[in-house]
Structure 1
């Protein structure tokens, strides 16, 4: 079968030039520096060339790329992309070794590495370094992800870069992957490190000092990078605002971004408890669910269960609608409907029938349809997007959300291994919302309900940042204006300080905003004295922030590319040494005296064959899709590999339109798992918690019926008998449901907290009598000891 793919193709008989991959992570507070070393050896009698396509975090700033051949280290320079490509081609044409690293024009989380002219018997070591901010999770952990998976990206018809050549895939069992991998991390912070968790097995955390502010951790031996490596880092007192001032580069021009000091502010606004305990009773909630083929199995089941929880947790008085998409899209109602028992039941019935059977992943059209719907007065629009993030037109999608950012907030959820961090983070960032990733054995529900709580928080408006600096020091904001502020969530602000003060060495920043009609502010005093030995990490992250903002402006949808804006990006990218879509890293070994003779052989790293019905890619930088169901039954893939996978010979003989290999893509007509429904496991019986939730009415109450009795593990007679005589049946049923939740399901409280609040509000509105007696009788019936005030009564 012919499929589009990532990485190079080789028969299993050919030697594999990659021998090992080593990844070292250094985390300082909430910033990570990652150094990856890829070691190659050419065991053949002809020179080799290799091209690899691999993922990085979407907001990573690639800041160093070098190659060591023998005793010679060649450090790459950042150059305008076309210039770098031509220099690479010229080097290969003249028989020199050359190395090229470039970012995809379709998605900023995908890179291509070309290793050209590795002589027979020669070894080469490639070193790649990047810095990235660590996102704060709902449970206050900082999330680092080393992407090992690059799923085929679905490319809609008619979009840029949808032409290419056929490439055939080969694979080997995971146990036969012929290279080794290692991963280690060092964590340091002003605050103690309380724990480090991972979806992969870890060796025990080793503390390096008695204060426990420094620690090291490694992946357990024998780990194959056949899935993303996720680390969750927890600090004590994580929510302290902080400022890191970093000195400029002595060799750079004063007044330039790299020549001046740069500050990174980390702010955690705290909202008054009175505001936080109230939940909005209005809003238009639009849920957009990916039903492409790759969502089959557990993913779509998890999504259905999550929509059940969301629909039960919505407040009476709001509006809602559910869209789902694949190659086409559907919506449950023609326009958002008032939330009540009738509309909720109608929606749930359709959710129960949803399968991953809509083909590809075309998210742009349903988004356009949603944005075309007129806003409902006094009902702020909140958009929830659930996707496994396998789209090729990432930048186009994010631009559309940005264009409509004034009319809504967007909350995004990346489902499963390989969800594009650029897409998921970009949707939330440009939509003023919050991003969550659901991987491995994670339950989707707690993370989604956390985001619903954010959506129900009062919206923060009129955000302003004011600086108070000594005379002689001026400030230039480098970050885009803050669009969203949520309780307990970090806001990062970068700024450049020009000039110096002879007197005061302290500055102050005030972030002011309006919350639920009340003016509020967060203030931070900080020293202007640069931190010791911080390198240029903050400068590079700040440069990356500016570059991303400029790139968005250069390519406004429907407009011509802005040549002046593009020059600004290229200049800043070259000056800071940070990659961009318009530049590339190029290294040429000019010290080798003999030109390499003969045409270059192309060699690839075979992919591991993973568990059934899933699509995985091989580790960190050598990828092509592997389908482990019967190949003959899989759909035909679109032939969309980019031209750079063609044989490289003399520059004059090559067509390199577009340069970098296209992302691995799927046919516009179907997703690669579209025909895998036969692999789906039988549906297990529904979890008792979800059964109880499914019985709740839109108003918040439960009815006393056999279904409720069954969930509680009782007969109808056993449930009805202890009810105090004058108490209404639905009041008694609702109190029993609340006691059961508090008595047996406290470990999942974040999942049911909002719908329990709705039930308590309903009970209060009934002005129910004998509540104390009901709680005592309910405890006796269910064998619990739940206090009345714990339930909220």
Structure 2
């Protein structure tokens, strides 16, 4: 079922959130983010404002405060149910109250309740979280401030009352602004900063360029995720950073002891990156829910998400090595697969799959990924063909934690590569799939093309990976170590790992310690020994402690969801760790109460839901925004009637019935659009590159026919007249295709690299003796100057 629908327009509901100010402090691989949200009640009655918003999936939320005039309230972290009860009691007594809690189902969704804000008054809400920066393939560190939160689809068997209601408007009519500034500090010099949003010039704060600051240009509307790409020198250098504990914390606790963070980012030599496997079972799992019929971005001529996924499948199917196995799944409210089980890759199976890819539509309802994954894991693995999952989704999944639990349970039977499509894809889902599946995650946002990122991950899947990773500690007597992070099993080219550990005990002598990180890469063993001081001087903060606590909290939460006799003890341990570290978890919430001279509330407060931006479906636009990721069935529309709230979270589930009637007509149109009846034939490929690739055989060769000639911009006679004597037509056509790729499509090499490698291997297998003459004739025909060595021949 769809978990919510809602409508916010300028005509009927003023938005009390006026602005968002964000300060980011980056220290090497870690960002501390302070967000201040300014609320103003411009109405004549007290109101309650509810804001459901995204944060990075693996962040540690550690501070929440509210400023009312000159009064500042610092929220306390406590048991979630107790916090909810205190919040409701405070509102009933006429007090102002503030509640911040994490969603039970997805760790990247939070709900903020600003309760009983008097008429004409304002409140500045500040929340602080700490997050790791993800490493990109070009050695950049990626900071992302999520703005877009697409409502999540609730599976039929899940209690929708546990889902936070998301109210949203089309990105571009968001009624509040964003100001963001970032202070960067790193042991290595900062080379540059790039962004998907306009930035003020980068300003260096010291001569060696290890400190800098940057900010968004003024007047930025918070209508998209804000991405900063930070480039440091010597990015591959491993580090060990120690953070001192807090003297005020309980002896023996995590916050009292020092914590060390290890950074491991292996550099792969060219001999390794050029080595590719020729076996494997490749399973492509494609989201076909209704929201995949949304555009990739809001710019002109943006492609639909489902169409981009289909183009990507074409590339993948043409790039697979002969003799491997593959299958393709589509999922929505139900799922289907192209073949009953994975089939061997050859010309026939490739043609069969491509025919079915052409007919794929975003016509399968909601976003339920759990069942297709269960079906895949129930299939026996193929000996000597490692299973590799490629999952494509816009991330509008409600039961994120259950999905990740399933992937982790089956981690020993596969690797998982995940791709978040479009603005608002769940970071918890996309990064969690890759983390629990020992794979790699990619996000396709803004005007990014999906194909180069997916082909990059295919290269990772075919390349050797770092394995047999071990961490050995050399510490003084009476000092021991407790690992906070889960064991590290595998690292791919372009992947970095951060590991956290707690140092226990006191050393009376040597204040130094060291750690050795060892791993295998192909036949070589690599060792990195790092030394560190056990007692760093000065105020080192507690960021690493809280990230370490967050890593341990996530592991314990997963154990608790598995059930069993230890579940109750795990809950108590989680609660204690969360309260001790100040990092929220599923069992805790932040609450602040201002006991002003309020009077008991007579009747309900005005309820105002603050919208988040979302990418809206094709055919829809302002002023209506529909908050569902699939066509809304009639029963779901009836379910949008207002309900009597029983607590703060349930109160946020109330939605506007008139709004549902307003969007009903749009929903009916979308039902028709997403129906599988009367599906129109897909448009033919218009991209010359994809046209050429679509004509390639599974073996890597091309036939010499009119279709190939058209793509090359020549006639059949021109191809035939320039062909050297005695050369096979397929060899000539394949060599011409290679020359055209290198001569005219070099900027897109990331997309066709495997196609070209297969073609070169096929030509070499034909043992052609006149390749130099063919290259010379082909260059003359096409008007390019590509050397034979460039082609890999």
Query: Matched residues in 2 for 1:173 and 1:308: separation?
Result: 31
Note closer, same or farther for the CA distance 1:531–1:205 as it changes in structure 2 (3 Å cut). Answer: farther
Q: Residues 376 and 239 of structure 1: is their aligned pair in 2 closer, same or farther, counting only changes over 3 Å?
A: same
- Which residue is equivalent to 1:613? 617
The question of whether the paired residues in 1 share the 8 Å contact of 2:148 and 2:612 is answered with: no
**Residue in structure 1 matched with residue 583 of structure 2 by the alignment:** 578
Per-residue deviation, 1:548: 0.5
| Farther off after superposition, 520-529 or 276-285 | 520-529
1:210 aligned partner:
207
Q: Alpha-carbon deviation of 1:121?
A: 2.9
1:771 and 2:768 matched:
no
Is the Cα–Cα contact under 8 Å of residues 144 and 231 in structure 1 kept in the other structure? Answer: yes
* Contact 1:3–1:639 under 8 Å retained in 2: no
Measure how far apart 1:690 and its partner are: 1.0
Residue aligning to 1:621 = none
Q: Does 1:341 align with 2:340?
A: no
Aligned to 1:243: 240
For the Cα contact (< 8 Å) 2:465–2:493, is it kept in 1? no
Distance 1:671 1:487 in 2: 47
CA distance 1:15–1:661, shift in 2 (3 Å): closer
What residue number does 2:372 align with? 366
Using the TM superposition, give the Cα deviation of residue 529 of structure 1 relative to its aligned residue in structure 2, in angstroms.
4.4
Matches within 5 A, 1:505-520: 505-516=511-522, 519-520=525-526
Which residue does the alignment assign to 1:638? Answer: 636
Q: Identify the range of structure 1 (142-151 vs 106-115) with the bigger mean alpha-carbon deviation.
A: 142-151
Summarize deviations over 1:578-614 as a string: whole Å, max 9, x none: 0100100011124x24446534522425658988635
Alignment of 1:361-510 (within 5 A): 361-510=367-516
- 1: CA distance between counterparts of 2:170 and 2:785? 56
Inter-partner Cα distance in structure 2 for 1:190 and 1:789: 41
Tell me the residue number matched to 2:592. Answer: 587
SS of equivalent to 1:154: coil
Instruction: Supply the distance in 2 between the matched residues of 1:584 and 1:221 (Cα, whole angstroms).
Output: 33
1:564-575 to structure 2, matched below 5 A, reads 564-575=569-580
Length, aligned pairs only: 772
Alignment of 1:2-401 (within 5 A): 4-5=4-5, 12-13=11-12, 15-161=14-160, 174=172, 178-296=175-293, 298-401=304-407
Instruction: Work out the CA distance in 1 between the residues paired with 2:528 and 2:668.
Output: 47
Report how far residue 436 of structure 1 moved: 0.5
Q: Deviations over 1:719-741 (max 9, x none)?
A: 22222213222222222222211
Matched ranges for 1:661-672 at <5 A: none
**Residues 728/23 of structure 1: CA separation in 2 closer, same or farther (3 Å cut):** same
State the shift of 1:259 in Å.
0.5
Deviation at 1:423, TM superposition (A): 0.6
Q: 1:673 to 1:429 in 2, by over 3 A?
A: farther
Distance (Å, rounded) in 1 between the aligned partners of 2:51 and 2:754: 47
2:176–2:222 CA contact under 8 A, matched in 1: no
Verify the 8 A CA contact 2:150 2:614 in the aligned structure 1.
no
Per-residue CA deviations over 1:479-516 (Å, capped at 9, x if unaligned) read: 00003211231111101111233443433322333444
Superposition deviation, residue 522 in structure 1: 4.0
d(CA) in 2 for partners of 1:782 and 1:256? 71
Correspondence list, 1:536-555, <5 A: 536-555=542-561
Residues 754-776 of structure 1 show CA distances to partners (whole Å, capped at 9, x for unaligned) of 22122222222222212222222
Report which stretch shifted further, 264-273 or 484-493.
Answer: 264-273
Q: Which moved more, 1:542-551 or 1:678-687?
A: 678-687
Shift of 1:193: 2.3
1:472 Cα offset (Å): 3.0
Structure 1 pair 781/530, CA: closer, same or farther in 2 (3 Å)? farther
Contact 2:50 2:610 in 1 (8 A): no
Structure 2 stretches lacking a partner, 5+ long? 296-303
In the alignment, is residue 601 of structure 1 matched against residue 605 of structure 2?
yes
Alpha-carbon distance between aligned partners in 2 of 1:578 and 1:616, rounded to the nearest angstrom = 40
Residues 681/141 of structure 1: CA separation in 2 closer, same or farther (3 Å cut):
farther
Instruction: Note closer, same or farther for the CA distance 1:179–1:436 as it changes in structure 2 (3 Å cut).
Output: closer
SS at match of 2:179: strand
Partner of 2:706: 706
Q: Which residue of 2 aligns with 1:743?
A: 743
Structure 2 CA distance, aligned partners of 1:437 and 1:680?
30
Q: Are 1:47 and 1:600, in contact at CA under 8 Å, matched by a contact in 2?
A: no
Cα distance in 2 for residues equivalent to 1:328 and 1:208: 55
Unaligned runs of 5+ in 1: 619-623, 649-653
Task: Sort the Cα spacing of 1:343 and 1:232 in 2 relative to 1 into closer, same or farther, 3 A.
Answer: same
Query: Mean Cα displacement is larger for which, 737-746 or 392-401?
Result: 737-746
SS of residue matched to 1:204:
coil
Deviation track 1:348-372 (CA, whole Å, cap 9, x = no partner) reads: 1111111111111111111111111
CA contact (8 A) 2:485 2:499 kept: yes
How far, CA to CA, are the matches of 2:548 and 2:768 in structure 1?
58
Q: What is the rounded CA distance, in whole Å, between the counterparts of 1:146 and 1:13 in structure 2?
A: 29
**Equivalent residue number for residue 299 of structure 2:** none
CA apart distance, 1:571: 0.4
Q: Which moved more, 1:239-248 or 1:764-773?
A: 764-773
Q: Summarize the Cα distance change of 1:96–1:442 in structure 2 as closer, same or farther, 3 Å threshold.
A: same
Cα gap change, 1:489 to 1:13, in 2 (>3 Å): closer
Contact 2:166 2:627 in 1 (8 A): no
CA distance in 2, matches of 1:13, 1:745: 52
Aligned to 1:730: 730
Change (3 A) 1:732 1:274: same
SS at match of 2:608: coil
Q: 1:128 to 1:781 in 2, by over 3 A?
A: same
Separation of aligned partners in 1, 2:69 and 2:681: 52
